[in-house]
Structure 1
Amino acid sequence: MPGDVLIADSANNRILLVNPQKKIVWQYPKPGQPSAIRDDDDVFFGPHFDEIITNQEGNDVISIINFKTRQVVWNYGHAGEPGSAPGYLNTPDDAFLLTHQGTDIITVADIKNDRILFISRRTHHILKQYGKTGVAANDPPIAYSAPNGDFPAPHGGMLVTQINGNDAILLNRHNQIQYTLHFPSQFYYPSDANITPNGNIIVAFYTNPGAIVEMTPKGRVVWSYHVLSGPGRLNHPSLAVMLPNGFILLNDDYNDRVIVINPKTNQIVWQYGHTGTPGSAPGYLNIPDGVDLLPVGVTPGGKNGVGHHLESFPGSGL
């Protein structure tokens, strides 16, 4: 593990930072204190690693948490009230906190509203939208059908995942399609496609048994993981990312674990959580639904420069 792992422990309504030795080095909330978040579906460090953004998918809220103080410093949405009017969300996924020319912008895939939003942190106003609100149509870049991924891409672009399209669309900063990647037809329900350090696309398939696939932008499968039985079988994985060392970090949601796979051997080489056994004690998770990496040498809570994030690309805002 080339760094600590940030984990969205969704059914425990908490966020953990776990080191490679599997020790909890930070958590929100502190033990014994109430949590202001519910169903934290994803967690990502902000561009300076001093804040964490989380989308509460089942609670229809995005929150930003100050790492040092553990205080929620920003919210968007109405808790438990899905909607499409300004200020409302419906099943938000993959919220990112980006910086562009000194301005903080939040992006989010608003799944059941079939749209991608760009929200001003300062004003809470929607600056830009991809897709038509409530129009579930596989017609990028005009309309999207259940988008559940909006990962940063080079030069201010975005990689959008469509559940119903079984594809990922790379957009430039002007919402123009650069390419569409159709996933293998034997898999369905793609989740959170993102760009690897080598320029390929990696995607999880939110099924049981689950799968992870890495493809080139031209559609060639270069690696896959799809174990049908035994301890290696995945149960609804929702996010897989390639680490700087080439290993694959992923949250295996309904197996209650976060794991690392060596793609050369397809063996699990690191695991936090007890397979299929939910819990909240140290070493246990309950439906972990998102991960991020704290790279070695980066101080969480400090004002680090941009460029260290897994999703750091030229112009990505991370």
Structure 2
Amino acid sequence: MVDPIVPFTISGQQVIEIGLSYLPGMTLPKQPHAWRTGSVDLGSDALMSVSYWSGHGDIIRRGDRTRREFGGLVGPRGVSRCGEGLAVIAQPSIGRLSQVDSEGRIRQHLDLPGVSPWFACRWQDRWLVSDDTRKAVLMVSLDGRTIDQLPTPFPLRSVRSAVPLDDNHYLLCDRESQSVVVLSRLGELVWRYGRTNYPSSEDGCLTSPEHAIPLQAGVAIADTRNHRVLFVNWQGEPVWSLGGVGQVGSSPGRLWHPISVSSTPDGSRLLVTDAGNDRVLEVSLDGQVTACHGDSLVDSGIFHLPRSLESTPAGYAVADSYNNRVSTFGPNGQGIVHTSTALDKPLFWPRHTSVIDGITVVSDSRNGRVLVSHEENSHGWRELALTLAGRHLELIDPHAVRKSKRGWLLTDTGLNAVLLFEPHTGEVLHAWCGEQATIASGTADVSRLPLEDVHDAVIDDDRTVWFANTGHNTLATLQYGASRLCNVTPVWPSGALSPLCAPRSVDVVGDQVLVTDSGNHRVVMLTRSGTVAGAYGRRRGHAIDCLSDPRFARISGSRIAIADYLNDRVLLVPRTALATDPPTMESAL
């Protein structure tokens, strides 16, 4: 494997990438791939795959290995076989199911107002629909006129796929609860695999599974962020695994974000949509790859779901979330050092690390603690203890910690709050929180605002608080001491609006505002009034000028430091590499 610290040049500007590696003799792809989201075997030598980001589908012929593109789709997600040589494609953004034949011809559209279908398949004489927006499983008549919601024994968090098991049971993949379950039509829980709300690659655990199908001997699971397809028997015992953590990439036996799995019409093979590698794999029932359609150029790197990248006096620091560690390295990526424990306890999903006034700070998020240590004594950790109105304040899911003129600023998504506190005493000076947050109700030090799932905040030199108001898809500002938020909507100089989707970080330096626009897979530089000065991230992908769900960005001198979360890498990008024109229709997100 080559060194995972790789410089690339874009329009004369050098971008440094740290994380991914590339197979011998190969280099970074110049064009973004389609990022396939589903595939199915239609029989008669024809495979079909669809891509959410490009909005098209492909018909792949096994015999001559030709590929023909077809259109007429909008944001396709799941695809399943619904008849001889016929597939149904779910399009959640427009509430539509489309039936397409093995020649790529659209036979029928079925529009479902108010429904966001991520996956659909036939069950007896109806459609079984996974509605991820409603967090519900629906039974829909073939003409769409009758829609019934199936009961469940617990609230669903992310309904990515529901597939029939028999006449009375179905297999449900709930990505955010990290589990796959069998439920009856009456809502009874019959079988489960995965530890609820505990993402891990340990036995009995999953991490963001996107799809699963029942087979005679057990269940095949696309365990997406563990980068594997897992086969589990009906006794809940893992039988085989293809790919896995530490085996990320495209070389033999490796996967990168496998997003769906289906079976051939005769049940003799599986079809795996290996999204990150832009390919479809045919896999035997014992987990051996028998054919590959398409391929990628990447191999495993040193990071897995990096959550933040901050500059430090010695270089940079990364919160390497899935690897449960923080990593530091020099200004050009050299001398990487990993830290995975503090106070005799392993880190668990650290979301942020930085150095403030010579003190190393780590948000050990799923342990609900913030750790601090003087940089020259990395073993001298202590846990930060905060108080509000004289009472201890328990942290739930701490994110970014940063310095302001009045103290330090901490964002905690579990509390849905931003806390300004005195770092030496831990006293909270002021808290800005969501209107329904339970934090210190009635206390004068708390401002209740329309904040939802706020991920980051900063106070600028003019005492304006900027919020990455993730749950409301907005960048919001508040003059210190005021009570009403103002939303900032990015606008290109041409006048074209450029709305945000799930902004997760914000940074302000002088007159420049940097926003991580995660749902649009880009980082945007704005003026204070909201005019777009530049953007980085052409579309989703791992070409060097593309990003995939970036979670964090900071201005670092002449560079922008980006944690490119789903690409398992971090980037150091010159400010001059930002695009200053709106994306064309071809490359629009």
Give the drift of 1:243: 2.6
2:340 & 2:502 partners in 1: Cα distance? 26
Alignment-derived partner of residue 307 in structure 2: 41
Relative distance call for 1:76 and 1:144 in structure 2 (3 A) is same
Contact 2:372/2:383, CA 8 A, preserved across alignment? yes
Q: Letter of the aligned partner of 1:108 in structure 2?
A: V
- Secondary structure, counterpart of 2:551 in structure 1: strand
Alignment-derived partner of residue 190 in structure 1: 454
Q: Map 1:90-169 onto structure 2 (within 5 A).
A: 90-100=348-358, 105-131=359-385, 141-154=392-405, 157-169=407-419
- Secondary structure, counterpart of 1:188 in structure 2: coil
Relative distance call for 1:236 and 1:222 in structure 2 (3 A) is closer
Deviations 1:142-183 (A, max 9, x none): 32232222212337x321222233322211121112222235
Higher relative contact order (CA 8 A, sep 6+): 1
- Secondary structure, counterpart of 2:22 in structure 1: coil
Q: Letter of the aligned partner of 1:107 in structure 2?
A: V
Contact 2:21/2:301, CA 8 A, preserved across alignment? no
Q: 1:259 aligns with which of 524, 527, 550?
A: 524
Alignment-derived partner of residue 241 in structure 1: 507
- Secondary structure, counterpart of 1:182 in structure 2: strand
Q: 2:556 aligns with which of 269, 291, 294?
A: 294
1:218 & 1:21 partners in 2: Cα distance? 45
Give the drift of 1:22: 9.0
Alignment-derived partner of residue 232 in structure 2: none
2:366 & 2:303 partners in 1: Cα distance? 20
Alignment-derived partner of residue 75 in structure 1: 338
2:399 & 2:5 partners in 1: Cα distance? 21
Contact 1:158/1:170, CA 8 A, preserved across alignment? yes
Q: Letter of the aligned partner of 2:347 in structure 1?
A: L
Contact 2:368/2:396, CA 8 A, preserved across alignment? yes
* Number of equivalenced pairs: 261
Does residue 174 in structure 1 map to residue 422 in structure 2?
Answer: no
- Secondary structure, counterpart of 1:190 in structure 2: coil
Alignment-derived partner of residue 536 in structure 2: 272
Deviations 1:212-255 (A, max 9, x none): 1122332434642258xx9622222110112312x321111121
Alignment-derived partner of residue 11 in structure 1: none
Deviations 1:104-150 (A, max 9, x none): x3102222222111134454435321249xxxx99965322322222
Relative distance call for 1:199 and 1:21 in structure 2 (3 A) is farther
Deviations 1:67-96 (A, max 9, x none): 245231x22216xxxxx8625112212210
1:115 & 1:90 partners in 2: Cα distance? 10
Relative distance call for 1:131 and 1:17 in structure 2 (3 A) is farther
Structure of greater Rg? 2
Relative distance call for 1:280 and 1:139 in structure 2 (3 A) is farther
- TM-score normalised by structure 1 residue count: 0.69
Give the drift of 1:189: 0.3
Relative distance call for 1:69 and 1:177 in structure 2 (3 A) is closer
- Secondary structure, counterpart of 1:218 in structure 2: coil
Relative distance call for 1:153 and 1:187 in structure 2 (3 A) is closer
1:17 & 1:189 partners in 2: Cα distance? 35
1:119 & 1:51 partners in 2: Cα distance? 17
Does residue 63 in structure 1 map to residue 331 in structure 2?
Answer: no
- Secondary structure, counterpart of 1:258 in structure 2: strand
Q: Letter of the aligned partner of 2:394 in structure 1?
A: A
Q: Which runs of 5+ in 1 are unaligned?
A: 1-13, 79-83, 302-318
Deviations 1:274-314 (A, max 9, x none): 2xx311213211121211213259xxx9xxxxxxxxxxxxx
1:22 & 1:254 partners in 2: Cα distance? 28
Relative distance call for 1:19 and 1:175 in structure 2 (3 A) is farther
1:180 & 1:124 partners in 2: Cα distance? 30
Contact 1:57/1:92, CA 8 A, preserved across alignment? yes
Root-mean-square deviation over aligned CA pairs: 3.5
Does residue 218 in structure 1 map to residue 481 in structure 2?
Answer: yes
Relative distance call for 1:190 and 1:122 in structure 2 (3 A) is same
Alignment-derived partner of residue 463 in structure 2: 199
- TM-score normalised by structure 2 residue count: 0.39
Q: Letter of the aligned partner of 1:113 in structure 2?
A: N
Contact 1:259/1:270, CA 8 A, preserved across alignment? yes
Contact 2:319/2:351, CA 8 A, preserved across alignment? yes
Contact 2:343/2:382, CA 8 A, preserved across alignment? no
Q: Which runs of 4+ in 1 moved over 6 A?
A: 14-22, 137-140
Q: Letter of the aligned partner of 1:112 in structure 2?
A: R
Q: Which moved more, 1:252-261 or 1:22-31?
A: 22-31
2:470 & 2:481 partners in 1: Cα distance? 23
- Secondary structure, counterpart of 1:232 in structure 2: coil
Q: 1:27 aligns with which of 14, 17, 40?
A: 17
Relative distance call for 1:120 and 1:243 in structure 2 (3 A) is closer
Q: Letter of the aligned partner of 1:109 in structure 2?
A: S
Contact 1:54/1:62, CA 8 A, preserved across alignment? yes
- Secondary structure, counterpart of 1:112 in structure 2: helix
Contact 1:248/1:263, CA 8 A, preserved across alignment? yes
Q: Which runs of 5+ in 2 are unaligned?
A: 24-299, 435-447, 491-495, 560-571, 573-589
2:309 & 2:485 partners in 1: Cα distance? 28
Relative distance call for 1:91 and 1:206 in structure 2 (3 A) is farther
Give the drift of 1:259: 0.6
- Secondary structure, counterpart of 2:480 in structure 1: coil
